[in-house]
Amino acid sequence: MAGLQEIEGLVKEIKAGKAAPIYLFFGDQDYLVKQAYDRVLEALVPEELRAFNLEQMDGQRCEPAQLLEAVNTLPMMPGPKAVGVPECRFFLSRSSSADLLAKARERWEQKDPAAALRQLGKVLALAELDFAGAAGFDLERLGLALGSELDDAKLGGDWLAQALAQGLASDFPMPKGADDSQDLLDGLEAGAPPAGVHLVLAAPSADSRKRLFKLVESRGKVLDFKGAERNKGGDAAAGVFIKSLLAQRGLTMDVETGRRALAAYGHDLGLLAREIDKLAAYAHPRIALSQDDLEAVGSPRPEEEVWALLRALGDGERKAAEALAVLARQLERQPPEKLFGLMSSELRSLYQCRCMAEEGLVSLKSLGNYGDFKARTLPALLKALPPGLAEGVKRKNPYAFYQGLLRCREFSLERLSGCLAFLFEAEKAMKTGSRECAGLLEELVLKACGVRGEALI
């Protein structure tokens, strides 16, 4: 995964007189893509010339002929010229659909409908559809239109129907749909851009199999900003990113706070940067950021609230009243259905952790600190696990998995097994409409605390 260091490297090359004719930046880390795009354009064209020698075009709607004309036009003032194309569609293909849909779903769930509809519009354009033509589509039908099977676990949910309906109702503008990258390819192969002119392209995704991509890669510079969840080096790259961010702002952060921040925001470096800025403003004039600051102004991922509830559950029957009070406070902030889903996921994870311990695959008594766990215990555990289970553990955030192993020490395998059996019955009760989610959550909390009694399901 490329990061801030690679961006700084390109800027240094440009300032040293080694600018490439073409640059392409893409990936699902919007913050880094934009940083690379902006920094390189600024480095290519001096500030006093930007009003004359810097041209930016709409990458979703501009035609190849328009772009080539801009690239081949000599600068208005003596000096370097750059043409920037954000949201460049020419590198997209139907194989990009899953990445674009994942980003659309993420933006929709973050209450950013405009950004979600922009990504969804690109997917529809690739399928040669618009919002009217896709009205009423579910994920399976959209996959058929794209000629590919879409993962319901990663991309499904009510969001798609809601977003399609909003796109239709708002007459959201559609990007160009046809793949006319060949026309741009022909122009670049014919010699564009001329000497002294630079083309800077940014895209949410790029199909590396396209001839256009291969040409840019051979003649220019390409940086791929993949998200941490899709890249094995993402966790380390996010760690480097947060260190650079803190250094730039003159801030410090203790190790544990840094791990919590990365676990909560490391999947989206733009979000991580915004949260660091919020923490800095809250803590000013202090420069040392703490976990108290993070809890006061941060918006950690919802799982962290569930962890707080699970800590209360781990104290057992004597703390059942306290656990119910924690549950009541959390229900004030989020719907019971969401909290139930998070609780279900975390309890299943704790059960898995406890099973690994019971089978002797990991020692809960000698986990050590997080650094030792990540460096020694986790690699050994991955080697010992069956391939399918090992892949599932690899997909987890290492810090979250470590916390799960710590928390599962407070629960017996029997108590966790009873919780899973309750979850199975509770899910059936909710689907049939015979019970309300909030009441089932209270029962689940009591069950997890070890309170005995007949279930009401």
Tens digits of per-residue pLDDT, 208-253? 989 999 999 999 999 998 754 444 445 566 777 888 889 888 999 9
> 451 pLDDT band (50/70/90 cuts)?
low
pLDDT value at residue 300: 53
Return the top range by mean pLDDT from 46-55, 332-341, 435-444. 46-55
**Sign of CA pseudo-dihedral 390, 393, 398, 402:** negative
| Position 164 pLDDT exceeds 90 | yes
Q: 320-449 sits in which CATH class?
A: mainly alpha
pLDDT value at residue 29: 83
The two structure tokens encoding residue 3: 């990061």
Q: 234-297 sits in which CATH class?
A: mainly alpha
Section 397-409 average pLDDT? 82
Q: ∠ CA 392-396-398 to the nearest 5 degrees?
A: 130
Return the top range by mean pLDDT from 155-164, 197-206, 274-283. 197-206
pLDDT value at residue 33: 92
pLDDT value at residue 374: 83
- For the ranges 107-116, 248-257, 279-288, 309-318, the lowest mean pLDDT is seen at 309-318
pLDDT value at residue 184: 93
Percent of the chain scored above 90 by pLDDT?
30
DSSP string, 194-209: PTTEEEEEEES---TT
Cβ pair 253, 289 in contact under 8 A: yes
Provide the CATH topology of domain 4-91+179-226.
Rossmann fold (3.40.50)
**3-state SS string over 400-427?**
HHHHHHHHHCCCCHHHHHHHHHHHHHHH
> 457 pLDDT band (50/70/90 cuts)?
very low
Task: Sketch the domain layout of the chain as residue ranges.
Answer: 4-91+179-226, 94-169, 234-297, 320-449
| Position 30 pLDDT exceeds 90 | no
CA pair distance 202, 89, nearest whole angstrom:
9
Buried b / exposed e along 53-73 (16+ C-beta atoms within 10 A): bbbebebbebebeebbebbee
Q: Where are the alpha helices (DSSP H) in 211-253?
A: 211-219, 234-248
